[in-house]
Amino acid sequence: MKRGTSRDIRTANRYEVLRQIIAESPTSRQELAAATGLSLATVATLVGELLDLGMIIEVGFEDSAGGRPRGLVAVNASGGALIGVDIAETYVHVELFDLALNVLARAEEDMRPGESRPEQVVGHVAAAVGSVVAQAGVEGARVLGVGVSVPGQVDRDTGVAEYAPNWDWHDVPLLDLLTEHIAYPLHLDNPLRACAVAELWFGAARGRGDAVVVNLGTGVGAGLVLGGGLHRGVSNSAGEWGHTTLVLDGRLCHCGNHGCVETYVGAPGIMLNLRELSPGSALLHPEDQTATVDALARGVAAGDPVAVKVVRDTARYLGAGIADLVNLLNPEVVVLSSWVAATLGEPLLAEVREAMARHALRRPLTATEIVLSPIPTDPVCLGAATFALEGALRPVGPQRKKAQPVRRTTTPARSRTAPPS
Ligand SMILES: [Zn+2]
């Protein structure tokens, strides 16, 4: 594990002060000191640096009770642009934000089944990034960076997608491949982290110390906010709850194990729940997860008993899995995020609440609220953009480490990327 240098701490403090200014503009140095726990002198220095960078501006004064008027600062929305990229199994979403993290442009590319070779994915990302920059009409020089979220385990330092079970990717040097098409600074992480940060800054985890952001898409995982900050684990791999065992000797998972949570509540798992219940159902769109989940949502709304049963069955698995997280982590809030949660919405949430109540211990359960993500845009793009912002605040120094050449072998090159046996 890397030890924090004084430069890392300075960058982290700068980021924390800017995060507070973005969340609470306009604000004073005194309020920033109170919110961050930093000294007023440190805050004043950091605010000066952010003013020099053009990321924030002075916006006047407020009266303080009896004392000298306090100078107010606010984020300089036009002081730069950030791009967030959400690479999922079935689509690529890209959004371009101003510095206040308002969306200025978005682009979407669909990925058909089987279209998951790295060069195909890179092509979609490059096209969509070009599209948002053109739509927003921003000069390239104003783009401070691009945050890229890709499913699975990633090495943030080298920009390598180490292991994406749904695509069978092993050690793909994704950022090096993207660098051939995209000239802006690139920063890699995964959707669990991106969703968690989005909720922490703008969503249901705002102001909460401990939160779990359950990401329900093709893949499944849990972004963890512990003690007010993002929890990454020692190798940036925390939150792989989708690959914890829910059913002993259960369904085969892409990771090589059996009975993983993901195989029951991820979109392909939900399709299997439907197929097992009603093999010939008109709700089932073979090979099309999005169409099937959409059909289930419409079916529930129309009172279709098969759709209602599938959502209930899915919620039973999900509720049992989330109860484990509640017993283990005792969070203030559990947020259901990503496209499956957004599509199935309140009916899924109501069933999950009931199932959780059957499995979680009463005391932690009563302390936990469970909600749908309130973020109206793609939370993964938003979170990915914050990674670009964090990267832009790093002092100029060594660039991203060059990814090691990929050994094209049939077995994973490094043991830590191998599927669990
Ligand atoms: Zn698995």
Percentage of the chain surpassing pLDDT 90? 78
* Nearest Cα to Cα of residue 338 among 388, 389, 270: 270
- Cα of 243 vs centre of ligand 1, distance in Å, is 4
Find residue 98's DSSP bridge partners: 81
Q: Tell me, what's the pLDDT at 405?
A: 53
Q: For residue 24, what pLDDT band results from cuts at 50, 70 and 90?
A: confident
> Across residues 331-341, what is the average pLDDT?
97
Residue 407: the pLDDT is 43
Count of CA atoms in the C-beta half-sphere (13 A) of 284: 17
Question: How high is the pLDDT of residue 416?
Answer: 33
Per-residue pLDDT, 89: 86
CA of 246 to the centre of ligand 1 (A): 10
| Average pLDDT of the residues in 209-217 | 96
Q: Which are the contacts of 112, defined by CB distance < 8 A and separation ≥ 6?
A: none
Q: Identify whether the C-beta of residue 193 lies closer than 8 Å to the C-beta of residue 232.
A: yes
The per-residue pLDDT for range 259-308, each reduced to its tens digit, is 999 999 999 999 999 999 999 999 999 989 999 999 999 999 999 999 99
Instruction: State residue 394's pLDDT score.
Output: 79
> Would you state the pLDDT for residue 248?
98
pLDDT class of 4 with cuts at 50, 70, 90: low
pLDDT at position 408, please? 38
Distance CA 243, CA 220 (A): 8
Average pLDDT over residues 369-380: 94
Measure 150 CA to ligand 1 centroid, in angstroms.
Answer: 17
Listed residue (254, 312, 306, 261) closest to 284, CA to CA: 306
Is the pLDDT at 412 greater than 80? The verdict is: no
What pLDDT was estimated at residue 203? Answer: 93
Ligand 1 centroid, distance to 240 Cα (angstroms)? 9
> From ligand 1's centre to the CA of 398, what distance in Å?
36
Whether 96 contacts 81, CB under 8 Å: yes
C-alpha of residue 255 to centroid of ligand 1, in Å: 4
Selection from 195, 175, 193 nearest residue 183 by Cα = 175
254 alpha carbon to ligand 1 midpoint, in Å? 6
Tell me the pLDDT tens digit for each residue of 90-101.
899 999 999 999
Q: Residue 360: phi, psi to the nearest 5?
A: -85, 155
Least confident range from 65-74, 141-150, 296-305: namely: 65-74
Query: What mean pLDDT do residues 344-367 have?
Result: 97
Residue 37 gets the label, from left (phi > 0), alpha (psi -120 to 50) or beta, of: left
- Residue 22: pLDDT over 70: yes
Q: Mean pLDDT throughout 390-401?
A: 68
- Helices marked H in 60-138 — which ranges? 118-136
Does residue 418 carry a pLDDT above 90?
A: no
- What pLDDT is attached to residue 111? 87
Q: How far is the CA of 355 from the centre of ligand 1 (A)?
A: 22
**C-alpha 420 to ligand 1 mean position (Å):** 8
Q: How far is the CA of 281 from the centre of ligand 1 (A)?
A: 27
What distance lies between CA 80 and its chain's CA centroid? Answer: 22
Span from the CA of 8 to the centroid of ligand 1 (angstroms) = 34
Q: Quick check: 52 pLDDT over 60?
A: yes
pLDDT > 80? residue 400: no
Helices (H), 66-190: 118-136, 174-179
Residue 397 has pLDDT above 50, yes or no: no
Q: Pick the range with the lowest mean pLDDT from 106-110, 248-252, 346-350, 411-415.
A: 411-415
Q: Would you say 242 and 261 are in contact if contact means Cβ atoms under 8 Å apart?
A: yes
219 CA distance to ligand 1 middle (Å)? 9
Least confident piece of the model among 2-6, 24-28, 161-165, 406-410: 406-410
